[in-house]
Amino acid sequence: MVERARGGDLGVIPVVVGLVVIWTVLQILNPIFLSSANLVNLTLESAAVGIIALGIVCVLLVGQIDLSVGSVSGLSGAVLAVLFVGEGLPVWLAILAAVVMGAVIGWVYGQLFNRFGVPSFVITLAGLLAFLGLQLYVLGTKGSINLPFDSGLVNFAQLDFVPAWLSYTLAVIAAVWLFASGFLHAQERRKAGLSAKSVSTLALRSVALLVVLAFVVWYLGQTRGVGWMFVFFVALVLIMHYLLSRTKWGRAVYAVGGNVEAARRAGINVKAIYTSVFVLCSTFAAVGGILAAARLAAANQSSGSGDVNLNAIAAAVIGGTSLFGGRGTAFGALLGIIVIQSISSGLTLLNLDSSIRFVVTGAVLLLAVIVDSVSRRSRTSHGRA
């Protein structure tokens, strides 16, 4: 790991260090920041935009961008509200319709990009404007539709928390899964004649994860505990991490992002990869929009607007996903949105104006891009680009 860091492959080290610094400074300025109650709120507020950022990670990995995720999330919230409240459809059917709509949008993006060669920047910028207008049309003259507070969806986003015993069980499962996956991966590498982590190293890593997760569960349990919506977000991160790191599709995504021509000559269906990441990005945007509406218990004309777009893209980049493609992990979305939400929560506790939050977030984003550019140069000089 030390040699990889010296070679410019920093991974999530910068964002973890940055998060520790931010938490330390904010805790010194306001002792309430790291309280259990505030951290529970922080996790819940991170989930919706974090899921959107997870989709941005997928698109950035192939060197593309999606500027319309905010509008797609707002439109999905509006579709959910109209179908569920206005038309009286079952909530699961309304959710399914909104998610399918997001997937179709991503598929259309993929076709425009692959067939006509329109830059993703232009396609998604057009989508940003078009879907914002469609959102206003769907909501109609009302402008806002409230979701029933007693619905399961709203309870899921606001009131449902994992029981303590199940939280600890999930922590144990996560530690066992980390050891088992690492052990199997190490065996595969040894069979191929490559170096691999020792069993003792894998066990130590898993024990460390268990201790950290158990402490988090215990500390958050001092108030309300771990919210199901945040668990859902983490589950999506783990699923995407597995798909990106352990499947043929994931390797193809990194290959396309690293060198699209080399990937094409290696037999990878580049067009299919582009389409898949656009579909994933818009689908995650729709899911994030649904959860955001549930969290607010309403869908209105401002849903998905404001800083949703910026925060989702910033979270992916701050989390270590390279703007140049080919570098990043699903965990980047989780770490990045926690950084952004920490800044927002901390400055709110300090009673500072939102303008300060934008300035600080922008500075952190710029620093993340600088680190990415410097590490890219370092990898090039060490022959690892």
Domain residue ranges of the chain, discontinuous segments joined by +: 12-381
What is the model's pLDDT at position 378? Answer: 62
Give exposure, 221-239, as e/b (b: 16+ Cβ within 10 Å). beeebbbbbbbbbbebbee
> In a structure prediction context, what are the per-residue pLDDT tens digits for the chain, which is 385 residues long?
444 545 445 667 788 888 888 899 999 999 999 999 999 999 999 999 999 999 999 999 999 999 999 999 999 999 999 999 989 999 999 999 999 999 999 999 999 999 999 999 999 999 999 999 999 999 988 788 999 988 999 999 999 999 999 999 999 999 999 899 888 888 888 888 888 888 899 999 999 999 999 999 999 999 999 999 999 999 999 999 999 998 999 999 999 999 999 999 999 999 999 999 999 999 999 999 999 999 999 999 888 877 888 889 989 988 888 888 888 899 989 999 999 899 888 888 888 777 787 888 788 878 877 877 776 666 555 545 5
Read off the pTM.
0.92
Distance CA 278, CA 109 (A): 7
Tell me which architecture the domain covering 12-381 has in CATH.
Orthogonal Bundle (1.10)
Residues 6+ apart with CB under 8 A from 164: 217, 221, 225
Distance CA 347, CA 359 (A): 11
